[in-house]
Amino acid sequence: MSADTPSSFRPADVSEAGIQSRLAQIGTLRAAIAQAIVGQEAVVEQLLIGLLAGGHCLLEGVPGLGKTLLVRSLGQALDLQFRRVQFTPDLMPSDILGTEILEEDHGTGRRHFKFQPGPIFTNLLLADELNRTPPKTQAALLEAMQERTVSYAGVTQALPAPFFVLATQNPIEQAGTYPLPEAQLDRFLLHVRVDYPDEVEERDILAQTTGTHVAAVPRVMSGADITELQALVRQIHLGDDLLAWITRLVRATRPGDDVPADIRQWVKWGAGPRAGQSLVLAAKARALLHGRLAATREDVVTLAAPVLRHRILLSFAAEAELKTTDDVVAVLLRSVPFTV
């Protein structure tokens, strides 16, 4: 079956009524977020894709575009534990992970160390301005984001499920910032670009935020609902031809004799297998968001840049020509054939 004909596919253990119920929940979640966020439909969709695919998202945009408000609104709409950490140059790993404190048993007088969990022990963590903290503190998130565990004093602590990190960073300020290393960037499922609103949206923002009305975001979805949706995403069909194309797209990001000339010139280091996994899951999640039970080529094209832009290291030649990783992805989508 072709990947672009999803209507004939139905997972055996998923009922039509159950699918419609889940899709209605997603629509309600979108409406709840819209109570506080004007526009930014593409950004909201990508955040929901990350949530349903069980991955983390990195939001990048200039100050004042509502990145923090968007994440906070998502946290309010979900019946999950939500915490926000403002990353600063003096933040230490223990400020995020937790620390051991010395306690005394008043009955026996004995003293013992007890682990005090940090703010990372939550369902939804907003890591605000992640690139403002030193590498050792950034690295404290690595195990948590990948393994969903925290190791401290030789003991491994499991994080609550679901666990979702939404990080923000400002792309224009260089003083006092620490660029995220490639190993940590690869932990993010999507790199979401937050752009300026259009004129109508900006006018609505001004009207909504300068009066006496305070938008209230209702809680519409529980942790169990999210877990079930994440399981449903993995049952979404993705055809063999589409899977083969995703594989070729990811492999074409790596400089070699069999890739487009622009890629050889612009790319110093390409994406790894985790990029293909992320693109598959993200495409499945987008298909579910749009009411389909199979991913299509459109899903892959739409999400190729958010999945790949932070996993490609540009060469000096590309930087000299003012090329971006989005330019690389555009070349890939034009040059890598869907069928061979």
Ramachandran quadrant class, 40 (left: phi over 0; alpha: psi -120 to 50; beta: rest): left
pLDDT tens for each residue of 258-270: 888 888 889 988 8
Confidence at residue 50, expressed as pLDDT on a 0 to 100 scale? 92
- Token representation of residue 211: 């009066």
Is pTM beyond 0.75? Reply is yes
Strands 78-79 and 221-222: parallel
Residues 276, 219: contact at Cβ < 8 Å?
no
Confidence at residue 168, expressed as pLDDT on a 0 to 100 scale? 87
Confidence at residue 174, expressed as pLDDT on a 0 to 100 scale? 63
Residues 273, 250: contact at Cβ < 8 Å?
yes
Confidence at residue 286, expressed as pLDDT on a 0 to 100 scale? 94
C-alpha span between 324 and 77 (Å, rounded): 35
C-alpha span between 96 and 119 (Å, rounded): 6
Question: What DSSP string describes 289-332?
Answer: HTT-SB--HHHHHHHHHHHHTTS-EEPHHHHHTT--HHHHHHHH
C-alpha span between 113 and 309 (Å, rounded): 44
C-alpha span between 63 and 169 (Å, rounded): 9
C-alpha triplet 262, 268, 273: angle, nearest 5°? 100
pLDDT tens for each residue of 72-101: 788 888 888 888 888 888 888 888 888 878
Confidence at residue 176, expressed as pLDDT on a 0 to 100 scale? 64
Confidence at residue 8, expressed as pLDDT on a 0 to 100 scale? 40
Confidence at residue 15, expressed as pLDDT on a 0 to 100 scale? 60
Please list, in sequence order, all residues whose beta carbon lies within 8 angstroms of the beta carbon of residue 122, skipping any fewer than 6 positions away.
Answer: 80, 81, 82, 83, 160, 163
Q: What is the mean pLDDT of each run of 10 residues along the chain (340 residues)?
A: 41 58 80 75 88 91 75 81 88 86 75 81 89 85 83 81 87 72 87 84 77 74 84 91 94 84 87 93 93 91 94 90 91 86
